[in-house]
Amino acid sequence: DTGVSQNPRHKITKRGQNVTFRCDPISEHNRLYWYRQTLGQGPEFLTYFQNEAQLEKSRLLSDRFSAERPKGSFSTLEIQRTEQGDSAMYLCASSLAPGQGYEQYFGPGTRLTVT
Amino acid sequence: DQQVKQNSPSLSVQEGRISILNCDYTNSMFDYFLWYKKYPAEGPTFLISISSIKDKNEDGRFTVFLNKSAKHLSLHIVPSQPGDSAVYFCAASGEGADGLTFGKGTHLIIQP
């Protein structure tokens, strides 16, 4: 399977704990995106990378959120001091650079529940 | 404020008929539009896209129409099949931003 993969698929944590999610993009894609989706809403853009450079951050990405893509391959999204409002599905997507196609291909997501 | 709007939360269509899903946008800087399909517990799956320089794009049973003056696009599925039952999201990009802006989705139900 050469699609986008995400781990873990589910995460339950207590308020105040830190969590980290991983995304492995499609191997030839140099762009990687993070989105968050809550019930009844469409995915909301958080941030994206071109290779290892983080090029854009949404205002939704508070200081408690940090994303990395150290070698331009997989990426991690960390949430520090989780709050109940962080409960959501966290989606990763990858794409080729503009000029080669704008379509973003999504992984299955990580569902976070903060208790 | 929502820049991409899907005003029908759900739509029920008989198998074999045409399904038409609608999407409106407010940001005139959007220049690329996409439709995604989502099953429960899965990530969105890319279906079809259209650039703002075109007014129609077709791929098999799926056709997307873009009316720039009305800031409106629609997805036509014909004929509709039971496996088409899912939530459909309209998304847009542009204005120098590379993150997609999504609508809230339309739940399509294909009746046998």
Residue by residue, DSSP assigns chain A as --S-EEE-SEEEE-TT--EEEEEE--TT--EEEEEEE-TTS--EEEEEEETTEEEEE-TT--TTEEEE-TTSS-EEEEESS--GGG-EEEEEEEEPPTTS----EE---EEEEE-
| B106 touches A: beta carbon within 8 Å | no
Chain A residues with beta carbon closer than 8 angstroms to that of B101: 45
pLDDT at A90 over 60: yes
Residues with Cβ within 8 Å of residue A12, at least 6 apart in sequence: A113, A115
Q: Is B102 within 8 Å of A102 when comparing Cβ atoms?
A: no
Q: What is the pLDDT of residues A21-80, one digit of tens each?
A: 999 999 989 899 999 999 999 999 999 999 999 988 888 888 999 999 988 899 999 999
Burial of A67 (0-12, 13-18, 19+ CB in 10 A): buried
Cα A4 to Cα A23, A33, A42, A105, B77: the distances in Å are 7, 11, 19, 7, 26
Choosing among A10, A32, A37, which should be mutated to test the B contact, i.e. which has the most B CBs within 10 A? Answer: A37
In this prediction, residue B95 carries a pLDDT of 64
3-class DSSP state of B18: coil
pLDDT at A100 over 60: no
pLDDT at A1 over 60: no
Chain A residues with beta carbon closer than 8 angstroms to that of B21: none
For residues A107 and B49, give the distance between their C-alpha atoms in angstroms, rounded to a whole number.
Answer: 19
In this prediction, residue A35 carries a pLDDT of 97
- Per-residue confidence of chain B (112 residues) as pLDDT tens digits? 789 999 999 999 999 999 999 999 999 989 999 999 999 888 999 999 999 999 999 999 999 999 999 999 999 999 999 999 999 999 999 866 678 999 999 999 999 9
Q: Is B91 within 8 Å of A42 when comparing Cβ atoms?
A: yes
What does DSSP say about strands A5-7 and A19-24: parallel, antiparallel, or unpaired? antiparallel
Closest to B32 (Cβ–Cβ): which among A102, A105, A106? A102
State the smallest CA–CA distance between residue B62 and chain A in angstroms.
Answer: 16
In this prediction, residue A59 carries a pLDDT of 86
| B49 touches A: beta carbon within 8 Å | yes
Q: Is B104 within 8 Å of A48 when comparing Cβ atoms?
A: no
| Contact status, residue B64 vs residue B52, Cβ threshold 8 Å | no
Q: Is B44 within 8 Å of A102 when comparing Cβ atoms?
A: no
